[in-house]
């Protein structure tokens, strides 16, 4: 008699583990240095970073209350086992709190995977601009929308040309304004279908699109927009185009297979990540200097060390959203 196959073991139930925000380097930095930086702002930082944005006070205050039971909690009871637990309130902020940012990224990734993205192959596209042009996007934040539109038009026109007929690809794009060392680095991350749909709904797969040709097209669109806005002239454009490496880039080599739902969710989480990772933040015992960024490797220069005041001012100016979200008002 054949043995009856045993049923697979049940996974262990998820267990809620309260986090300890007070023990994280970001919390300690803000708790001990925020008021000092604010007091020094006019004298030390205003000439370079501009006037103090008052709503930052509320953002930081809510972050310092986030995840701490003493600042408010909800009692949650399991309908099955009748056990209950206390869950601390969160700040639901955008751009500062790594925990709330991770939760928002997870929720967005799940929604896109379940309700938005079709079961076709996808690729990650990344669009970057040269350092010479980044200050224009810092001082004219409305241009970030144009940057995203230039990326979308580049994807669509490249795919139409590759397909030899009119198709419409799917694309979810996220504008990120921060680099790994909390520097201002406007760029576009996008999840793009590896193909497109005809007007009649027929799927047309495109396994490959030339990234170099896409880079040239994206460069043309961005420079045209900046010239139309009156921010650069033909002389500046000619200077950029005379360089061997202009600083524009388009990468689309990271791909996800249709059946790999986990990979597409991880990719969306990466697109939605918060500006700072707690794992990449190191603070000296006196809180005078902060190191942030990737560990040194073959293609990276390692973490960047700055004073705690400098790192916070860069955060306010370059990484936080220009205007507070509903959770940051």
With respect to residue 192, please indicate whether it lies within any of the assigned structural domains. yes
pLDDT confidence of residue 139: 86
Classify residue 211 as exposed, middle or buried by CB count within 10 Å of its CB (0-12, 13-18, 19+): middle
What percent of the chain has pLDDT above 90?
Answer: 50
Confidence of residue 218 (pLDDT cuts 50, 70, 90): very high
pLDDT tens by residue, 224-279 = 999 999 999 999 999 999 988 889 999 999 999 999 989 999 999 999 888 777 77
Q: Is residue 41 part of a domain?
A: no
Strand (E) or helix (H) holding 86: strand 84-88
The residue range of the domain holding 232 is: 117-273
Q: Is the model's pLDDT at 298 over the cut of 80?
A: no
- The number of folded domains in the chain is 1
Question: Does the residue 187 lie in any domain?
Answer: yes
Tens digits of per-residue pLDDT, 68-88? 999 998 998 888 888 888 889
Give the pLDDT confidence score for residue 83 in this predicted structure: 85
* Domain containing residue 259: CATH number: 3.40.1310
Residue 138 domain-assigned? yes
Give residue 53's pLDDT: 82
Instruction: Provide the mean pLDDT of the chain.
Output: 85
Q: Report the pLDDT value the prediction gives residue 328, as an integer from 0 to 100.
A: 41
Q: What is the pLDDT of residue 6?
A: 47
pLDDT of residue 194: 97
In 3D space, the residue among 21, 37, 315, 316 whose CA is nearest the CA of residue 181 turns out to be 315
């Amino acid at each position: 008699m054949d043995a009856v196959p045993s049923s697979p073991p049940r996974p262990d139930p998820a267990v809620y583990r309260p986090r300890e925000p007070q023990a994280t380097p970001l919390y300690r930095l803000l708790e001990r240095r925020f008021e000092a930086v604010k007091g020094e702002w006019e004298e030390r930082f205003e000439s370079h970073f501009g006037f103090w944005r008052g709503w930052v006070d509320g953002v930081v205050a809510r972050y310092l209350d986030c995840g701490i039971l003493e600042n408010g909690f909800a009692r949650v009871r399991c309908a099955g086992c009748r056990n209950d637990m206390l869950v601390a309130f969160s700040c639901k902020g955008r751009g500062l709190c790594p925990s709330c940012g991770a939760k928002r990224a997870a929720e967005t990734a799940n929604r896109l995977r379940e309700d938005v993205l079709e079961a076709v192959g996808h690729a990650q596209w990344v669009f970057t601009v040269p350092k010479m042009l980044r200050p224009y996007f810092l001082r004219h934040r409305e241009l970030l929308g144009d940057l995203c539109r230039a990326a979308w038009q580049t994807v669509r026109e490249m795919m139409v040309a590759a397909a030899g007929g009119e198709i419409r690809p799917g694309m979810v794009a996220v504008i990120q304004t921060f680099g790994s060392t909390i520097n201002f680095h406007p760029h576009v991350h996008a999840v793009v279908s590896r193909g497109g749909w005809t007007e009649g709904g027929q799927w047309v797969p495109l396994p490959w699109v030339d990234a170099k040709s896409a880079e040239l097209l994206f460069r043309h669109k961005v420079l045209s927009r900046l010239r139309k806005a009156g921010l650069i002239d033909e002389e500046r454009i000619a200077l950029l185009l005379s360089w061997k490496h202009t600083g524009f880039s388009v990468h689309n080599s990271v791909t996800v297979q249709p059946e790999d739902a986990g990979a597409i969710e991880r990719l969306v989480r990466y697109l939605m990540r918060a500006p700072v990772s707690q794992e990449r933040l190191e603070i000296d015992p006196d809180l005078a200097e902060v190191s942030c960024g990737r560990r040194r490797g073959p293609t990276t220069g390692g973490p960047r060390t700055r004073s705690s005041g400098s790192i916070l001012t860069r955060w306010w100016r370059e990484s936080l959203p220009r205007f507070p979200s509903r959770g940051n008002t």
